[in-house]
Structure 1
Amino acid sequence: MIIKKVFNNNVSLVIDGDEEKILMGKGIGFQKQSGDEVDENLIEKTFVTSLSSHPLEKLTTFFDEIPLEIVSLTSDLIQEGRILLGEHVGDHLLIPLSDHIWFALKRLEDQTEIEYPLKWEMKHMYPEEYTFAKKALKMIEKRTYKVLPSSEVVPIAMHFVNARYGANSYHQTYEMTALVSKIIDVIHYHYFVDLDEDSLHYARFITHLRYFILRQMAGEEDTSEAEDVFQDLIQQKYPKAFECAIKIKKLLETSMNWNVHYDELTYLTIHIQRLTAI
């Protein structure tokens, strides 16, 4: 492995075959420069990176600003998250999550707390990530001896939700979560019933909405159309669910300026019928 960039005495960017990696270890960059070989005995942590998503200038600034112990802590959180949540939890979380944790700790010193909305939605829509985020707060407390406010569970969970659904940013996940919440409200007030959030139909509906919203955010419209006969059959068989689906269609078209095709309307109707059937 050949050093490409020394960030500080303990962090270096290296070339390893066709991959670029960030190596961490005590003294791994000490008195080293570009072109030198790495002392592999000093490697403590390894991250696969991409300069297309994390330019060299950004990485340099990051390692100048964020203490090594916070980066190391975040690395351990990612490793634990990969075990508990799945292989989609990757090294791409290192920079944004380290950055968030560090500035959350700085806000704690300044006695500044941010109240994040959608805590209820996060807890019910992403229970695995929410539970892990609570564990992450305990890990942060154990390593830093500082207790972050419980409200921090929301943004930490969102980072892991991003990893699961391939959202481009924290704000995209936030917008997706808020939109799903509005859709659930439409169903709730249309039927005046409380939905069973532990049911399989609820989980499938939420999953359908997530991927539909992400496709729309990415500009990937589904141009396929269900047959008119099938649409008419669904409308006739489930008139109340179809009426509710029309309300959701109007919500998305007016608030998001999305073009909701009638095949999506059919899928919504079927999901709503299953979700509300007694």
Structure 2
Amino acid sequence: MIIQKVLNHNAAVVSDDKEEKVAIGSGIAFHKKKNDKINPEQVEKLFVLHHEESNPFADLLASASHEDTTFVQEIMSWLEVDQLMNFNNQTYALLFDHFIHLMKRLREGKRIDNYLLQEIKTLYSDSFQIAEKAGNKLSNNTGFSISQDEIGFLAMHLYAAGKKKTSPQLIQKHTETLNLMVTTMEEDLNTIFPRHTIAYEGLVSHLHVTVKAAEYDEDLMKAPGEMIEMMRNGYPDSYRAAKKAVSVLKNQYGLTIPEDESIYIAMHVQRLMSRGWTDESKD
């Protein structure tokens, strides 16, 4: 491998098999210059450059400090080795970019709010736990405290990295869809559902499955006739709110689910509205 351009101490554009690529590895470009050789065994990641368009990842590596890129490489390695995560080049670059910009926000004192935080904790709990560990490592490295809002966004990136045919943007859109359904029902009922409860987690988890089924055009279980009558007649407010959320899903996103599904959603809503469940806090 021959260096074409040094990006920082840990990254360089190289010529490899007659292709230009971005090579990443700890200290591989330290005290190196154009036309110097790089030992391929020291390269940890290799990305092909496409000349028909600019390469934002190469630009990121060129603009980031070697201290930051060194730390991000270390945390990415920790995710792969200790947390058994497997990144392709695209997900690696996206997550690398997220860490670099997260550290920049921390230094500049910028704070971002994450109104999807509780839904993220519920739907992507494993990724959230890993994100908290990564956040602790980042906090120890930078000396800055990392908010739960930032942990939530990082969790979405980690969850997307472990899934095929998805991205952080699609994960966020899906989570926003669930949040819209929840707020639609809250507005209809003139209430705020208690977030830190098992009942709320049940509602969000059910909406997650429902929306996924609609996205992939999968069949859902039909509600028994007696259950439909019980919810319509016994709990009309919860049923009405659920129907409205289903209507919003269709109008806003073009997703259709069976009318029976409103019954199951209404059952979760009624559980939240019933006396006793609102105080069922989680540790």
TM norm structure 2? 0.66
For 2:34 and 2:168, the matched residues in 1 are separated by 36
Q: Per-residue displacement from partner, 1:67-109 (whole Å, max 9, x unpaired)? A: 2332332233333334566545544333333333333333333
Paired residues in the alignment total 254
Larger relative contact order (CA 8 Å, sep ≥ 6)? 2
Matched, 1:251 2:253: no
Matched, 1:178 2:176: yes
Shift of 1:114: 2.1
Q: Tell me which residue corresponds to 2:26.
A: 25
Q: Is the 8 A contact 1:22 1:46 kept in 2?
A: yes
The one-letter amino acid of 1:208's match is: V
User: Do the aligned partners of residues 81 and 90 (structure 1) sit closer, same or farther apart at CA in structure 2, a change above 3 Å counting?
Assistant: farther
For 1:171 and 1:276, the matched residues in 2 are separated by 28
Matched, 1:103 2:101: yes
Matched, 1:163 2:164: no
Q: Is the 8 A contact 2:23 2:45 kept in 1?
A: yes
Q: Tell me which residue corresponds to 1:6.
A: 5
User: Do the aligned partners of residues 138 and 123 (structure 1) sit closer, same or farther apart at CA in structure 2, a change above 3 Å counting?
Assistant: same
For structure 1, the 5+ residue unaligned runs are 216-220
Q: Tell me which residue corresponds to 2:275.
A: none
For structure 2, the 5+ residue unaligned runs are 233-238, 272-283
User: Do the aligned partners of residues 94 and 146 (structure 1) sit closer, same or farther apart at CA in structure 2, a change above 3 Å counting?
Assistant: farther
For 1:80 and 1:17, the matched residues in 2 are separated by 32
For 2:226 and 2:70, the matched residues in 1 are separated by 57
132-141 vs 157-166, which deviates more? 157-166
For 1:210 and 1:5, the matched residues in 2 are separated by 48
Q: Is the 8 A contact 1:20 1:48 kept in 2?
A: yes
The one-letter amino acid of 2:110's match is: T
Q: Is the 8 A contact 2:47 2:89 kept in 1?
A: yes
For 1:17 and 1:88, the matched residues in 2 are separated by 28
For 2:200 and 2:116, the matched residues in 1 are separated by 19
Q: Tell me which residue corresponds to 1:69.
A: 67
Shift of 1:259: 4.1
The one-letter amino acid of 1:254's match is: N
Q: Tell me which residue corresponds to 2:278.
A: none
User: Do the aligned partners of residues 26 and 163 (structure 1) sit closer, same or farther apart at CA in structure 2, a change above 3 Å counting?
Assistant: closer
Shift of 1:48: 4.5
For 2:158 and 2:101, the matched residues in 1 are separated by 18
Q: Is the 8 A contact 2:241 2:266 kept in 1?
A: no
The one-letter amino acid of 2:58's match is: T
User: Do the aligned partners of residues 211 and 85 (structure 1) sit closer, same or farther apart at CA in structure 2, a change above 3 Å counting?
Assistant: farther
| Local SS of the residue matching 1:49 | strand
Q: Per-residue displacement from partner, 1:40-84 (whole Å, max 9, x unpaired)? A: 35x1x51253546x9553233111112233233223333333456
The one-letter amino acid of 1:11's match is: A
| Local SS of the residue matching 1:238 | helix
For 2:110 and 2:179, the matched residues in 1 are separated by 28
Q: Tell me which residue corresponds to 1:125.
A: 123
Root-mean-square deviation (Å):
4.4
Q: Is the 8 A contact 2:10 2:69 kept in 1?
A: no
